[in-house]
Structure 1
Amino acid sequence: MRTNPLAGLATARRNGSPYGITSICSAHPVVIQTAIRRAVRSKETILLIEATCNQVNQFGGYTGMTPDLFIAFVLEIASREGLDPSRIIFGGDHLGPNPWRTEPAAQAMSKAEAMVTAYVWAGFSKIHLDASMGCAGEPAALDDETIATRAARLAKAAEKAARAAGSALPAYIIGTEVPVPGGVDHTISDLKPTEAAAARRTIAVHREIFAREGLTDTFGRVIAVVVQPGVEFGSQNVVAYRPEASKALTGLLDDEPSLVYEAHSTDYQSRAALTALVGNGFPILKVGPGLTFALREALYGLDLIASEMIADYGDRSLARTMERVMLAAPGHWHSHYHGNEASIYLQRHYSYSDRIRYYWSNPTAGVAVGRLREVLDRVSIPETLMRQFLPMVPIELGSAGNPDAILQVAIGQVLADYDAACRRDTLPTPEGCNDAPSSVPRLGNHP
């Protein structure tokens, strides 16, 4: 039986031999398949795959999947690829009232309890308790006591579900000093890490209220706190990690030896920055849009290649289809992208926030992607076209006539940075982490 790597993160940091784990936050089948294939090849990797409250919940979320269906979906791919299910940890992200925050708190929290119960019943063993958002008639940002009290309520639901299911009691994540699920919807000009004093208070208030609610043992299974380390991406820009700005946060962990930090929105950070995050006490690296951004880059590159090579394919058939699909159902992007018509068009297709990811499961989009794969299947792509339209992919892959392999490699290049950052043997000491570059390289361009 392999050791659960989550259980050893704080100890490893305390012992001076930190390691990390990548949290894959995506429901796209090609992303999941790529991650699973990499795990199969590594033979020892434990995969952490997470679903968010908006993506997967008891009502289906935007994927149409309930928690049990999400696990079944992932395990079906794992079975097909030959990965032992025991090597997958399932996590629930931002589990709380966020999907129903326009409703009164009592109603939203009741639904949040049911969601947490459904997650734990299904087999999710890493639970992020996030009750930070105000509901109808409440301030947008709640006070620490209210957040912790609601988190304790959700923890009780999770504990009850685990005991009823006869499963192991979950590990928990608390805190949420990050944007709500979906990400930032504007250009970021100034981003400050969480103040160490604020993080200290978050931990203390949760510990106190959990104890008051008879959940002292439960708090003992809190393994990490979500804080803002100073990394984020908006629609059109990325803020790179600066280790010196989060030194106080790193120092706080010396007073909380059982805890580490969970870093959200690490998408598009360089390999050096990811490595520095792990070394500085942020070993849980969450990535999602960055993976589907790489997928979209590769699909659009193939779309351009097919436009040049295949006589009856049409001019950018996939991109034009995606534009029609997104315009027909603007709910996932309309309130997130701002500017004039030309700017919003570019954001729909090329934004770092990658809200196009919500549309790949649309049946019309699926047909267009299927046609693209079909017309390029067993077609040798000239080196010159690979250089022009897929510069992030090794040229020799074009001659193989396998578009699926190209998609896998594009996603895999992103995951390779995370794999490297999380390995013990590549991590500098925290004091040596100040060399992380402030610039963000293009996806697929690795040092």
Structure 2
Amino acid sequence: MSTQLLRSLSALHRDGTSIGITSVCSAHPEVIRAALSLARDMGQPVLIEATCNQVNQDGGYTGMTPAGFRAFVEGIADETGFNRSGLILGGDHLGPNPWKNLPAEQALDKARKMVAAYAQAGFEKIHLDCSMGCQGEPLALDDEATAARAADLCSIAETHSPTEPVYIIGTEVPVPGGALEEVEHLQVTSSEAALTTVEIHRQAFAARNLQAAFDRVVGLVVQPGVEFGNQNVVGYVPDAAQALSASLARMSNLVFEAHSTDYQTLGALSALVRDGFSILKVGPGLTFALREALYGLDLIAAELDNTPPRLKPAMEALMQAEPGYWANYYPGTPDEQRLQRHFSYSDRIRYYWTHPIAQKAVGELLARLGDRTLPETLISQHLATAWPEVMAGRTRPTATALAQAAVTRVLRTYALACGHDAAG
């Protein structure tokens, strides 16, 4: 059973074993390819998640249904030689969020259809999140309403799933995807709030005769005090989360799921796993690393051909022509917005990589460089973090290898923090 590791995390933590799992939250094919390739080499399962806005029965912003996303990921698994039996697919923040501008019952009906589609497609990890209000409701609902709606969606998943999925409950503050502007201080979830969330969900599930499903709740989303804004990262402070971590002793079979862990150091990620935040979600940090590599390769190509860089100007023109994914998220002067479009930790440029214009620009860059061996000196100049790997023979000095290595480097940090051998 591919979810065996998820089911065992609580017992491992109670035994004092620091083992976790990385949740890869991205639909970028190169990110998924890097995740599957690393997991293949390590002999470990891999958890890949799609969010409610990204993938749903209407296609989401990727244009993929849950069944389509599964086929997409499995196709890459087959290309990389990763055994499908080690693939865990998860659905993140499944609830009414994509349709919260509608009246509650309409939004919830859409959410039910979405959960049914995820379940039918064999997604084995389901995060039930009904914390947001719909049209005419408060921005955030109380625990009782949130739990009742989550139990409603759980009953749908139980009816439509061909397996016995595991569940995640709860939500984090601030909202998913990273905060706006600069983040200074975060309120760590109190142990009382965490315990209350679990108990109220337990009661709501019992009211629908879903006790067996509740026994498969493996994680609770909380705020351990980590976040990133457009220009800064709030690192994990173990002392601030001590009481929250200790509360796990009173939660049977549960660990914590930490969102927005992107850009945390290896030490911080390791401390999170040690303290029971055993499921580490990462997304923008992976595409941020890929963008760094692509821009570095573009500068290398410019040096080799003695021409101006081409990729960044093409992406700038695209984002200026279609500002929908960044305009409401990047405040400041025009110059500040220009920098954020390309270099923000929130990495909203990631929404553009599948655009035909972006795909053409990246394709042309990779075609220009081809499979030729790139000079070590230019790799040192423009892709400095890759230089030691190239010199040690771990990464080939070619464009495609260097691009994938940038993502793998981040994933390897997570693997090490989760207690897995990620040498290489």
Question: TM-score, length-normalised on structure 1?
Answer: 0.91
| Matched letter for residue 413 of structure 2 | D
How much does 1:395 deviate?
A: 5.6
**Mapping for residues 341-352 of structure 1, pairs under 5 Å:** 341-352=334-345
Match of 1:373 among 366, 372, 380: 366
Q: For residue 84 of structure 2, what is the aligned residue in structure 1? A: 85
- Residues 247-269 of structure 1 deviation map (CA, whole Å, 9 limit, x = unaligned): 11111111113111001011000
**Mapping for residues 8-407 of structure 1, pairs under 5 Å:** 8-42=8-42, 44-162=43-161, 167-311=162-306, 314-394=307-387, 397=390, 402-407=398-403
Partners of 2:375 and 2:397 within 8 A in 1: no
**In structure 2, what is the Cα distance between the partners aligned to 1:96 and 1:140?**
14
Partners of 1:178 and 1:264 within 8 A in 2: no
**In structure 2, what is the Cα distance between the partners aligned to 1:121 and 1:2?**
17
**In structure 1, what is the Cα distance between the partners aligned to 2:242 and 2:317?**
47
Gaps of 5+ in 2: none
**In structure 1, what is the Cα distance between the partners aligned to 2:51 and 2:381?**
36
- Residues 207-240 of structure 1 deviation map (CA, whole Å, 9 limit, x = unaligned): 1111112211111111110000000011110000
Q: Which moved more, 1:349-358 or 1:135-144?
A: 135-144
Partners of 1:92 and 1:128 within 8 A in 2: yes
The question of 1:408 aligning with 2:407 is answered no
Question: TM-score, length-normalised on structure 2?
Answer: 0.96
How much does 1:178 deviate?
A: 3.1
**In structure 2, what is the Cα distance between the partners aligned to 1:143 and 1:235?**
29
Q: Which moved more, 1:174-183 or 1:234-243?
A: 174-183
**In structure 2, what is the Cα distance between the partners aligned to 1:351 and 1:420?**
26
| Matched letter for residue 272 of structure 2 | L
**In structure 1, what is the Cα distance between the partners aligned to 2:159 and 2:236?**
39
The SS at the match of 2:386 is coil
| Matched letter for residue 30 of structure 2 | V
**In structure 2, what is the Cα distance between the partners aligned to 1:236 and 1:361?**
24
| Matched letter for residue 363 of structure 2 | G
How much does 1:12 deviate?
A: 0.8
Gaps of 5+ in 1: 427-445
**In structure 2, what is the Cα distance between the partners aligned to 1:378 and 1:176?**
45
Q: For residue 6 of structure 2, what is the aligned residue in structure 1? A: 6
How much does 1:78 deviate?
A: 0.7
**How many matched pairs?**
420
**In structure 2, what is the Cα distance between the partners aligned to 1:74 and 1:86?**
13
Q: Which moved more, 1:89-98 or 1:397-406?
A: 397-406
Partners of 2:195 and 2:251 within 8 A in 1: no
**In structure 1, what is the Cα distance between the partners aligned to 2:173 and 2:258?**
9
**In structure 1, what is the Cα distance between the partners aligned to 2:170 and 2:376?**
49
- Residues 196-216 of structure 1 deviation map (CA, whole Å, 9 limit, x = unaligned): 111111111111111112211
**In structure 2, what is the Cα distance between the partners aligned to 1:171 and 1:180?**
23
- Residues 316-354 of structure 1 deviation map (CA, whole Å, 9 limit, x = unaligned): 210011011111111111111101100011000000000
Partners of 2:35 and 2:411 within 8 A in 1: yes
How much does 1:183 deviate?
A: 2.5
**In structure 1, what is the Cα distance between the partners aligned to 2:3 and 2:186?**
36
**In structure 1, what is the Cα distance between the partners aligned to 2:295 and 2:18?**
38
| Matched letter for residue 415 of structure 1 | L
